[in-house]
Amino acid sequence: KQEVTQIPAALSVPEGENLVLNCSFTDSAIYNLQWFRQDPGKGLTSLLLIQSSQREQTSGRLNASLDKSSGRSTLYIAASQPGDSATYLCAVLSGGNTPLVFGKGTRLSVIA
């Protein structure tokens, strides 16, 4: 059974700092991995999707990497802004008809 862990559970940084969020998964036989953003009480917004054959994906100030063999992914946020404050969720699809499995998320606060 796939399990996803996100560390740290919460993070507070000053504006302008570069930061890294971590995600680990127990079964390395994955199909793809997605990073989502969730604002309080709201739905999920997809940030980046990495296929199992890819090593990284970039969108603006966001860069996500994937190391399948070690069961890890990182989300790098450059030059953080107060508007980046949200919960970031990592989710893994193990292929076939298996569902998307989520971690508990990292709650990020960027202080102006």
* Chain contacts with other proteins (rule: CB under 8 A): 4, 32, 34, 36, 41-46, 49, 89, 91, 93, 96-105
Give min distance, CB of 37 to other proteins, in A: 11
Give min distance, CB of 44 to other proteins, in A: 4
The residue among 10 and 79 lying less far from other proteins, judged by its C-beta, is 10
CB atoms within 10 A of CB 24: 18
The residue among 14 and 41 lying less far from other proteins, judged by its C-beta, is 41
- Specify the DSSP class assigned to residue 40: T
Q: 74 has which bridge partners?
A: 22, 65
Q: Which of 62, 72, 66 is nearest to 53 (CA)?
A: 66
